Amino acid sequence: MQRLLCLINRHHLLQNNIFLLRSNSIANQIREKPVNDKILSTNLQRTSNQTPLDFSKYIVTEDFGLVSSEADVYETTKSFLNKPTETIKYDFYSGLNFYSETEKQYIDLSAFLDDIVHVEDIETFIDDSEKRAEITLDGERSQCFDVSKMLQLVSRNDYEGIVNELNNKKWPKFLENDILISKVLEIIVANAKYEEIKKVFNDFAKSDCMAHLKNSIALDFFIKLLDQHNLDTVVNEIGKLKDLFYIDEMSTILSKKVASQVEMKSNEQARTLLNTAFELEYSLPDIERLWKMLLSKGYITSTSMFFELAISQLLEKREVDLALSYWKRQHSEFLESTCFHYFYKYFLKNDIPLKGKLYEKVISMESSMVRSMNVFADIVVCLVEMNRIEDAKKQAKKMSLNSSQFKNPLRRVKDSEVYGVLEGIIKETTKK
């Protein structure tokens, strides 16, 4: 593998190690050749007469470089305001101050450099995209790519081989090879550049009127796009991509179970996309615009996703009034309430009295949308999530809750341990 040698202050390091080099060189000569007194005495005399090189008066202008290159150095002056007027070419080997060609031939320079330089794989310095095969789609493309060959390339995750096939061959029938083609598109999205991905999507959409793009692939593309470009670009692509295809993925699914699984995965990916937008510090109106575009194009079905993410982020920043305003919007615009638990946990974490005006306001808002007993069931779930098990048991016993009242709060629980504890509390304390 090609490797890049990064030389940091190389001349100073070479000077510090020269004694060891000379010792090793002389030792090798003694083992392999008879000692020549004349040569040794001459070398000793030259050593005593020679003035050591003072590296402190040089400034190396290249901190990194290859062994074979030269470094530009300038003589320093007492005043740091003076600029160098003359460039001195300082040969790499001259810095070693060799006394003879014989001495030089006994030095394994590559081994020496392994001791004094920091070696890194070149992949850390060269952008991966520069090494990738380029997607051009400009080959003859008179025949469809070989399915068995493409299966092997996909199984090996051979991006270069896949690109070569796509550049020179056209797509086969989608309905007969939908799983394979989707795998190919996943690899393209993961590895190709933005413009290349667009080119592949356009070409794929034109190849077959029955072709469609999985929502999961499109959402992976949007996540990558947001990370590498900006939110406006993502919103623009969401608006265009769906219109490339005549058929939507959800229209091809006949099983309710499979449809539910696809929707769940799409919603999870969309949450990742919106969370990334929050992390990149886009404004709430911009993130809402992104969410509404996903919703309008059928990539997601969750009408509560944006409000949940916005309210949780605002409460972390202690912007309670703004969080309440978004919660009111969820009530009025979508007739939903899925954010009560964020407020309740906020009260507990910040030791806000549960009998104060703010708490009463939150309880009143939630009760206007949800039955009171269901609100108390949600409180029990919050207490368990915050590891306040005894308080949760007391609350459940006090309110005489039944299992049906826990149905909605339990939908948001992902932690299996929390779910197990709640299951035990429900069995022990609820009415039969």
For residue 23, give the amino acid letter. Answer: S
What is d(CA 131, CA 136) in angstroms, rounded to the nearest whole number? 15
Structure tokens at 277: 């937008």
- Asked whether 241 and 205 are in contact (CB, 8 A), the reply is no
Name the residue with tokens 């190919």. Answer: 184
Long-range contacts formed by 353-360: CB under 8 A, 24+ apart: 358/320
Asked whether the whole model's pTM tops 0.85, one would answer no
d(CA 182, CA 174): 9
Do 2 and 122 contact (CB within 8 A), yes or no? Answer: yes
For 260, the token pair is 């539910």
Sheet holding 58-60, edge to edge: 58-60, 71-75, 88-90
Between CA 126 and CA 269 the distance in angstroms is 30
Contact at 8 Å (CB) between 323 and 343?
yes
CA 408 to chain centre: 33
CB 323 within 8 A of CB 314: yes
Q: Please state, in angstroms and rounded to a whole number, the distance separating the CA atoms of residues 94 and 309.
A: 64
Tokens of 342: 């964020």
CA distances from 199 to 82, 133, 170, 207, 230 (A): 55, 14, 13, 12, 19
Q: What residue has token string 């001195």?
A: 88
Instruction: Tell me the pLDDT of the chain (432 aa) as tens digits.
Output: 333 334 334 444 444 544 444 445 544 554 444 444 544 455 445 545 555 555 454 444 444 444 444 444 444 444 444 444 444 444 544 555 544 555 555 555 555 444 444 444 444 444 554 567 899 998 888 899 999 999 999 999 999 999 999 999 999 999 999 999 999 999 999 999 999 999 999 999 999 999 999 999 999 999 999 999 999 999 999 999 999 999 999 999 999 999 999 999 999 999 999 999 999 999 999 999 999 999 999 999 999 999 999 999 999 999 999 999 999 999 999 999 999 999 999 999 998 888 788 999 999 999 988 888 889 999 999 999 999 999 999 988 888 888 888 888 888 888 889 889 998 888 887 655
How far is the C-alpha of 296 from the C-alpha of 262, rounded, in Å? 17
CB atoms inside a 10 Å sphere around CB 190:
14
Q: What is the pLDDT of residue 105?
A: 54
Q: Are 379 and 395 contacting, i.e. CB atoms less than 8 angstroms apart?
A: yes
Instruction: Please give the structure tokens belonging to residue 173.
Output: 């029938």
Q: Where are the domains of the chain?
A: 3-126, 129-208, 212-302
Q: Is residue 248 within 8 Å of residue 298, measured between CB atoms?
A: yes
Q: What is the pLDDT of residue 155?
A: 95
Burial of 167 (0-12, 13-18, 19+ CB in 10 A): middle
What is residue 230's predicted lDDT score, i.e. its pLDDT?
95
Single out the residue of 139, 166, 140 nearest to residue 154, CA to CA. Answer: 166
